[in-house]
């Protein structure tokens, strides 16, 4: 479906042909005092994750890309990537680690993740903003060490190492922000 720059919305996907498949992160219509209007955008390449700034003439037409999102259950990780299964059709497919991005650091077997498809091509994944994971290894907090904001490394059940406050102990369940990889709170 062809759209023009007046139809832009944040989060919309557009297909720029040979330039690639992009998601609009931000856009701004600009009408200078002299010359024609234009639209300044910040786009994220859905295949590589690269962010670019691009300017379009007002009214310029392009193809809108329809991204289908399907919930998949994570089964296991192998050398090719992450193996997931469609809960409705029980079809299994392998998502490359590059496509999965940082979401792979927070997945446990059996977790549900949303995979983005453009036609039959996997172009990305969505995950909840935070997850609850168990600490499998960390140093014990030292009694009397109460420095405000002091942190120590802790290994999560997925193998990811994050910084946590000194009072967090092995076996605790913690909430982790999946966008930044930071400790939020104990669960």
Above pLDDT 70, what percent of the chain?
Answer: 96
Do 59 and 7 lie in a common domain?
yes
CA within 13 Å, CB half, 4: 8
- The CATH number of the domain where 49 resides is what? 2.30.30.30
- Of 37, 64, 91, the last residue of a domain is 64
- Residue 38 has a pLDDT of 92
Do 49 and 87 lie in a common domain?
no
- Residue 105 has a pLDDT of 86
Give the distance between the most distant pair of CA atoms in the chain: 68
- Of 83, 102, 126, the last residue of a domain is 126
Residue-wise pLDDT tens digits, 100-159: 878 888 888 888 899 888 888 888 888 888 889 999 998 886 666 566 677 888 999 888
Sign of CA pseudo-dihedral 179, 68, 119, 82 = positive
Do 119 and 80 lie in a common domain?
yes
Average pLDDT, the chain: 87
Which domain, by its residues, includes 104? 68-126
- Residue 185 has a pLDDT of 87
Residue-wise pLDDT tens digits, 34-55: 888 999 999 988 887 789 999 9
Q: Judging by beta carbons within 10 Å of its beta carbon (0-12, 13-18, 19+), is residue 74 exposed, middle or buried?
A: buried
Asked if residue 53 lies in contact with residue 45, where contact means CB atoms within 8 angstroms, the answer is no
């Amino acid at each position: 479906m062809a759209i023009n720059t007046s139809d832009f919305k944040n989060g919309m996907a557009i297909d720029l042909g040979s330039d690639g498949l992009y998601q609009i992160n931000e856009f701004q219509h600009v009408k200078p005092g002299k010359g024609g209007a234009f639209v300044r955008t910040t786009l994220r390449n859905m295949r590589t994750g690269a962010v670019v700034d691009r300017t379009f003439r007002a009214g310029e037409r392009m193809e809108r890309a329809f991204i289908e999102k399907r919930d998949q259950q994570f089964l296991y990780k192998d050398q090719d990537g992450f193996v997931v299964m469609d809960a409705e059709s029980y079809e299994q497919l392998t998502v490359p680690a590059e496509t999965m991005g940082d979401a792979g650091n927070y997945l446990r077997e059996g977790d549900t993740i949303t995979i983005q498809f453009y036609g039959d091509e996997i172009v990305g994944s969505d995950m909840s903003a935070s997850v609850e994971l168990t600490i499998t290894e960390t140093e014990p907090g030292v009694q009397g060490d109460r420095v405000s904001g002091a942190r120590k490394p802790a290994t999560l059940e997925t193998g990811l190492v994050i910084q946590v406050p000194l009072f967090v102990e092995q076996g605790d369940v913690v909430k982790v922000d999946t966008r930044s990889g930071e400790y939020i709170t104990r669960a």
